[in-house]
């Protein structure tokens, strides 16, 4: 069955990504979506949700957010959806009814959406817990009466849910099921009856769960919404037992900090804007603030609380996390253990904490969980010049005149019989010095990322391949290969590689993020120090500073530099004047990078 635009090519061209498999994928506002065309014969069965009681319009395609900005992740996430919608379309064509598992899944969706709707309603109406409890109890009894589940005559027994046959009171819920599945629920049919009964159970369970949550009691959905139909008569266990969702407890004082922090991390993670490493850093400062405030409600945290916390944080040693048991100790205990240490956190580190905590309150305010002034807004501390600096010429000559580079045979450097870490160390710093690329951008490259277009050899910096990741959207770019790299034999090295392998095969991913520069970064620091380059504020990142400074010296504009080295250009440049320089202009730009006094003749080939 055809899906995704009547004719689907095996590969599609994505601007900025080269040739990549984007079947069933579409990019909107930097995020990826799954898109599948609905077969023409079925388009009347899939309709949009109508507004204000109106009938929805027939849909021609299914669009589902994949909640990622990474093409690699989107490629992985599309296939379960392809399978799901193929089966849905097949069932819609054959008229096959919903299975018990599918009915239970749809009822679970009713349960979840009802809980979310009650949460939103309570916030909008600003009800106290007592007011909300009274309203829910009245609404639940009214619903039971509408469904005929309670008898107006106390002498008559109540009607069991399993005996319900009509569901006019929840017609909107059943219509939503039809929209999601493409299956017509014919009144009187077995599927209609089972789906209606399951939806009723889901609605009742949601209200009862909300009531328990208001009392401070944990609440979970039933193992199944199918009643007797969901129990295996042989094992007496639920046929369907998907993961359970705990209902959040809402207190009179509103959301507590720990929950707001968890929502912030989840939002950033889903948006693809938080690496595992950054997540751990954020969770660390959130844990300290939670213990400092005893996990107070957001409404109880004011600027004085923030001031007291920042004063205590400022007393920590830069290596406080190496203290035994640091991840479990509260802030006051950590401060005590740091009292006899001479070091203190820099303003730059404290500012990163302020930024994270301020972000929690901004998101909570945006979502309606917090009202008032952000206690961490405007608290940024003045920073000393602690950013990385560029290497001086004598330092560059030390880095590129080591025994490794002077005595490694040219054949081993350009056409190695075995790819070792030494091969990677011979090339990666040199590539960084003449491209301005970040270390992980270089380390994660595949051989096929070195390409030739319009007669110009270039690096295609992207996250097209699984395992590749970029720091920002602006990091996706084209960087022409500098002539100095060619003179040193880099293209000979590339041509000797298998095209489907890594550019530096000896590198393996490591660390919490699985980055390819994890082990290289440690080895480079050792290498740099052994070279006698030990000045403060120098690292691999200094090569980017060298490139930026060399371009400034040749009167390159800020926008040109940003495009070449992958910096965010800011509102003015990126919105009103996106560069997208032609290939020849990019090549001319990279060739402006020169380092007078740098000696590399011992690396030249031919």
**Alpha carbons 245 and 109: distance in angstroms, whole number:** 11
Q: Who wins on pLDDT, 3 or 460?
A: 460
Burial 112-130 (b: 16+ CB within 10 A, else e): eebbeebbeebeeeeeeee
Residue 275's pLDDT band (boundaries 50, 70, 90)?
Answer: low
Burial zone of 264 (CB within 10 Å; 0-12 exposed, 13-18 middle, 19+ buried): buried
Single out the residue of 251, 252, 282 nearest to residue 264, CA to CA: 282
Q: CA 276: distance to chain centroid? A: 10
Burial 1-19 (b: 16+ CB within 10 A, else e): eebbeeeeeeeeebeebbe
For position 475, what pLDDT does the model report?
Answer: 59
What digits encode the pLDDT tens for the residues 538-547?
899 999 999 9
**Alpha carbons 274 and 266: distance in angstroms, whole number:** 9
Per-chain mean pLDDT for the chain:
81
Q: Is it the case that residue 424 has pLDDT exceeding 70?
A: yes
Single out the residue of 17, 203, 191, 183 nearest to residue 87, CA to CA: 183
Q: What Cα–Cα distance (Å) separates residue 570 from each residue in 99, 121, 183, 541, 576?
A: 52, 38, 48, 21, 10
- DSSP-assigned beta bridge partners for residue 91: none
Query: Global pTM?
Result: 0.46
Residue 450's pLDDT band (boundaries 50, 70, 90)?
Answer: very high
What digits encode the pLDDT tens for the residues 165-213?
888 888 888 888 887 777 888 888 888 899 999 999 999 988 888 888 8
**Whether 226 contacts 111, CB under 8 Å:** no
Q: What is the DSSP string of 329-382?
A: S-HHHHHHHHTT------HHHHHHHHHHHHHHHHHHHHHTS--S--TTTT-PPP
Strand order of the β-sheet with 450-453 is 450-453, 456-461, 477-480
User: All domains of the chain, ordered by start, with CATH?
Assistant: 1-96 (no CATH), 97-251 (no CATH), 257-367 (no CATH), 393-603 (1.10.443)
Strand order of the β-sheet with 31-37 is 25-28, 31-37, 61-65
Count of beta carbons in the 10 Å neighbourhood of residue 319: 11
- DSSP-assigned beta bridge partners for residue 14: 18
**Alpha carbons 204 and 216: distance in angstroms, whole number:** 19
What digits encode the pLDDT tens for the residues 395-412?
999 999 999 999 999 999
CB within 8 Å of 197: residues ≥ 6 apart:
161, 162, 164, 226, 227
**Alpha carbons 71 and 506: distance in angstroms, whole number:** 25
């Amino acid at each position: 069955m055809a899906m995704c635009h009547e004719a689907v090519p095996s590969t599609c061209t994505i601007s900025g990504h080269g040739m990549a498999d984007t079947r069933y994928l579409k990019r909107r506002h930097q995020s990826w979506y799954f898109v599948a065309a609905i077969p023409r014969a079925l388009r009347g069965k899939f309709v949009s949700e109508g507004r204000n009681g109106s009938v929805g319009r027939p849909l021609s395609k299914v669009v589902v957010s994949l909640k990622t900005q990474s093409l690699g992740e989107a490629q992985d996430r599309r296939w379960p959806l392809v399978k799901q919608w193929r089966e849905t379309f097949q069932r819609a064509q054959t008229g096959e009814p919903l299975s018990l598992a599918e009915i239970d899944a749809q009822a679970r969706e009713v349960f979840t959406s009802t809980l979310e709707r009650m949460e939103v309603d309570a916030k909008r109406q600003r009800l106290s817990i007592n007011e909300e409890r009274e309203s829910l109890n009245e609404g639940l009894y009214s619903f039971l009466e509408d469904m005929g589940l309670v008898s107006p005559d106390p002498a008559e027994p109540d009607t069991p849910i399993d005996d319900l046959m009509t569901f006019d009171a929840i017609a909107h819920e059943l219509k939503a099921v039809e929209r999601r599945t493409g299956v017509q629920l014919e009144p009187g049919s077995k599927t209609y009856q089972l789906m209606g009964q399951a939806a009723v159970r889901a609605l009742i369970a949601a209200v009862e769960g909300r009531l328990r949550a208001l009392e401070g009691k944990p609440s979970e959905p039933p193992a199944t919404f199918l009643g007797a139909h969901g129990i295996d008569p042989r094992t007496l266990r639920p046929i369907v037992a998907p993961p359970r969702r705990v209902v959040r407890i809402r207190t009179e004082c509103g959301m507590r900090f720990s929950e707001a922090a968890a929502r912030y991390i989840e939002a950033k993670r889903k948006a693809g804007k938080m690496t595992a490493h950054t997540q751990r850093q954020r969770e660390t400062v959130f844990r300290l603030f939670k213990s400092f405030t005893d996990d107070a409600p957001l409404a109880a945290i004011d600027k004085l609380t923030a001031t007291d916390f920042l004063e205590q944080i400022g007393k920590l040693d830069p290596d406080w996390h190496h203290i035994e048991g640091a991840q479990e100790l509260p802030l006051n205990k950590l401060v005590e253990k740091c009292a006899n240490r001479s070091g203190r956190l820099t303003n730059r580190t404290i500012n990163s904490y302020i930024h994270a905590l301020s972000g929690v309150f901004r998101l909570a305010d945006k979502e309606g969980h917090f009202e008032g002034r952000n206690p961490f807004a405007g608290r940024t501390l003045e920073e000393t010049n602690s950013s990385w600096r560029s290497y001086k010429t004598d330092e560059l000559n030390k880095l590129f005149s080591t025994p490794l580079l002077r005595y490694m045979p040219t054949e081993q450097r350009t056409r190695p019989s075995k790819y070792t870490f030494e091969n990677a160390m011979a090339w990666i710093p040199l590539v960084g010095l003449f491209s301005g690329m970040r270390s992980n951008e270089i380390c994660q490259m595949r051989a096929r990322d070195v390409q030739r277009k319009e007669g110009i050899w270039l690096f295609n910096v992207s996250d097209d391949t699984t395992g590749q990741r970029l720091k920002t959207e602006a990091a996706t770019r084209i960087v022409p290969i500098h002539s100095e790299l060619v003179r040193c034999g880099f293209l000979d090295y590339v041509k000797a590689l298998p095209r489907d392998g890594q550019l530096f095969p000896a590198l393996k991913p490591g660390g919490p993020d699985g980055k390819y520069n994890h082990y290289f970064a440690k080895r480079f620091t050792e290498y740099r120090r052994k070279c006698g380059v030990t000045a403060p504020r120098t690292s691999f990142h200094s090569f980017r500073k060298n490139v930026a400074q060399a371009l400034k010296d040749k009167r390159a504009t800020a926008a040109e530099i940003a495009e070449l080295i992958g910096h965010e250009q800011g509102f003015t440049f990126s919105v009103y004047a996106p560069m997208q320089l032609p290939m020849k202009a990019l090549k001319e730009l990279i060739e402006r990078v020169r380092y007078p006094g740098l000696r590399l003749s011992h690396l030249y080939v031919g």
